[in-house]
Amino acid sequence: MSSRVFLLSPARCDGRRAKALLNPAAEFPLAVQLRQLEGASLGEVFSFLSGLYFRGKLTYAQAFATPDAAVSPIRIITTNRGLLTPEYRVRPADLTDFACVDLSAAGEEFAIPLARDAQQLAREAPSDALVVLLGSIATNKYVGPLTEVFAERLVFPREFVGRGDMSRGGLMLRQARDRRELTYVPVVSAVRHGKRPPKLDPIR
């Protein structure tokens, strides 16, 4: 089986949850930790900001990533700092910085660091490693820059087609719980838009 490296799309840093987390008067543990000198891990912060969707991505990636001493098998796409590990520590100023970049424009501030880190990852990862994109494949925001670097090695879960963010998050949590990996297909040749699949059964 080929090794896997997972690329997770980012959480929004300008929504209601972000305002709660960045409130200087907030006393819940993550907000307090974020304000401390060592900060909080990016994975934990984005899981709070996004809720089900990012938590699903991170839980799934942790369940199926291939351990490698030389290469961190999970990377988070950021708006202006390329690819960072879930363990990367952030503080309030970092989240404010992320929020200043509009991903819908996907300009050079986003694309240049992403291409830089993707190229480094391509050099360091095993040559047969699959690079699994856990994020939107409906637009070229992520697909374009990453395909230029990874070509056929860039894959995504076929089961994502037609699902919204919340459905994808729930699906990944179920697959991680059941230890059943999704089916990966190359982004460059895949059908990226499709009919909405049936709703997921409630988690029991």
Q: Does residue 83 contact residue 75 with C-beta atoms inside 8 Å? A: yes
Query: Residue 44 is which amino acid?
Result: E
Q: Does residue 44 contact residue 89 with C-beta atoms inside 8 Å? A: no
Instruction: Report the pLDDT averaged over residues 3-29.
Output: 94
Q: Does residue 126 contact residue 157 with C-beta atoms inside 8 Å? A: no
Is 5 a residue whose pLDDT tops 70? yes
**CA distances to 7, 108, 150, 157 from 143, in Å:** 11, 15, 10, 13
Is 192 a residue whose pLDDT tops 90? no
Give the β-pairing of 154-157 and 184-186. antiparallel
pTM over 0.85: yes
Percent of the chain with pLDDT over 90: 72
State both tokens at 53: 């969707």
Give the model confidence (pLDDT) of 74-106 as tens digits. 999 999 999 999 999 999 999 999 999 888 777
Is 197 a residue whose pLDDT tops 70? no
Is 199 a residue whose pLDDT tops 80? no
Give the model confidence (pLDDT) of 60-75 as tens digits. 999 999 877 678 999 9
